[in-house]
Each structure stands twice: as C-alpha cells, then as structure tokens.
Amino acid sequence: MDQETLMNLLKAVKSGSSSVDEAYETLKELPYKDLGYAKIDNHRELRVGFPEIVYCAGKTPEQVRGIVEYMLQKDCSILGTRASKEVYEAVQNVYEAVEYNETARTITIRKNNIKLTESYIAVVSAGTSDLPVVEEAAVTAEVFGNRVERIVDVGVAGIHRLFNKLDIIRGAKVVIVVAGMEGALASVVGGLVDKPVIAVPTSVGYGANFGGLSALLCMLNSCSSGVSVVNIDNGFGAGYLASMINKL
C-alpha cells in the first residue's frame, strides 16, 4: 500500500462512502502477510517510498510464484532480482505480462503507468562483461520511475571512449559507475563530474581480482571526492540509491 491509496481510503471513511468495517478489511494485513515461508512487508512503501523487492536467488520457483501471487492482489508493481529462467516461467504462469531481462536476471510486473523523471541517472560501465550488473542497476532505477541513460564499454583501457560521452554523463543528476578488474573507472569519472558517483565493483577479472575484491578496495580508496561504493555486483543497491538521490 502506498501513501495515495491510504489517504484515499481514509477520505472514503470520512465521507461515508466506505464503512469502518470495509476499511478494516483493507488494512488488517497492512504490517505484513505471513505466507509461512515468507513475510511480505505491506508497510514498506509507506515507510520508505518504495515497495518490497523480491530477491529470487535461494528461493524455489514455487516460492517466488506464491509471493508474486499475493503481491498482485495489492495491485502493485513488482521487481524480482537474481531471477532464473525457471523463476520467470513460474511467475509467467500466474501473470502472463511479466517481463524478463535475461542479462539483468530481473522479472518486472508494471501495474501502473509510471511517469519517468525529467532528470536522469547515467549508468556507466567499464566493459561489456559488466553488463549484467549495469542492467540490474538500470532496470531497478527504471521500475522506480527514473529516466536512465546507459553508457557502456568506456573503461580506462580506451579512455577516449569515455570522453566522447562526457556531455551525457555530466548531464545526469547522479552517476552509477560499474567496473571490474581494478575498478579505476569510478575514480576517473569522479574527477570529471560535479554529481554524486555510486561505484559498483564487479566480480569480472582474473585471479588476482579475487572475485571483485580488488575493484572494491580500489573504489573504497578512491582519491576522487564524491564517490560512494556499494557491494560487489550489487547493481540493485546502486539503482535503488541513485533513485533516492534523483528524486530528492
């Protein structure tokens, strides 16, 4: 339930067009719904402005389908992250219009027409191998109603590619930089823009990359001001935070 829905319900009770008993039936599951294997947070959008997101990894397709079936009753848009093809097919059985982004591993159900922001988020990647994390960040931001510009494969090994896109990057309200290997791109971008930079280290790289740890440490030790860092491969976290900044 979002703020607008709750306010409309309270106004209906006040005007007499809805009874107290009808309002109670609507509100009785407001804190959360216990499905046995999951507790759906129906209050989250009222608290933080965004509905609960379904993290699909580690859940069975049947569990995700059950969660989605319940959430559909509330007529809200749904984002599922780290979703396999099997999860997508299970959800498609209950809602045919579900969208699956195979690169991002996301499932999305858009129940309302979302008006996108005038300002936009730039998602910048060092290499093509970083695209799964790029897409997870971009899809997350888009589901939350943000305009997104993707600038891919502009890493420091061919930095002239980055310079050709600087006007787009500088025009963003917030910039997400996704990079593996040594993760140097975040520092470079941080030194070229006057906007917040959210750095996302990825697990892309050879053995000494330690599954993204070297990129993470490089980004944490950036000498560029205005660079913050999320966890390795956490495109969702970057997209969520960027959305909050873009809507301030």
Closest CA to 149 of 134, 162, 130: 134
What's the confidence (pLDDT) of residue 138?
Answer: 97
Q: What is the structure's pLDDT at 197?
A: 98
Count CA atoms closer than 13 A to 13's CA, side-chain side: 14
181-236 per-position pLDDT tens digit? 989 999 999 999 999 999 999 999 898 899 999 999 999 999 999 999 999 999 99
Residue 27 pLDDT greater than 70, yes or no:
no
CA atoms of 139 and 101, how far apart (whole Å): 8
What's the mean pLDDT when you consider all of the chain? 88
Give the pairing of strands 54-55 and 39-41. unpaired
Under a CB-based contact definition with an 8 Å cutoff, are residues 120 and 148 in contact? yes
Residue 35's SS3 state is coil
In the chain, domain spans: 31-109, 120-246
Per-residue tokens: 146? 């943000």
Amino acid 41 reads: D
Q: Which residue has the tokens 């040594």?
A: 182
pLDDT for position 201 = 97
How far is residue 205 CA from its own chain's centroid? 24
3-class secondary-structure state, position 118: coil
CA 148 to chain centre: 12
H and E: helices and strands count for the chain: 11, 11
Residue with token string 């520092």: 187
List pLDDT tens digits, range 34-78.
Answer: 678 787 777 677 677 777 789 999 999 999 999 998 888 877 778
3-state secondary structure of 195: coil
**Looking at per-residue confidence, does 19 or 223 come out higher?**
223
| Inter-axis angle of helices 131-143 and 235-246, nearest 10 | 40
Dihedral pair phi/psi, residue 144, rounded to 5°: -85, 10
Q: What angle do CA 200, 205, 210 make, to 5 degrees?
A: 85
Residue range 124-182, pLDDT digits in tens: 999 999 999 999 999 999 999 999 999 999 999 899 999 999 999 999 999 999 999 98
CA quadruple 32, 35, 36, 38: dihedral sign: negative
Q: Specify whether domain 120-246 bears CATH 1.20.1600.10.
A: no
- Check: CB of residue 41 under 8 Å from CB of residue 81: no
pTM of the model: 0.85
195 burial (CB, 10 Å; 0-12 / 13-18 / 19+) is middle
Q: What is the pLDDT of residue 34?
A: 62
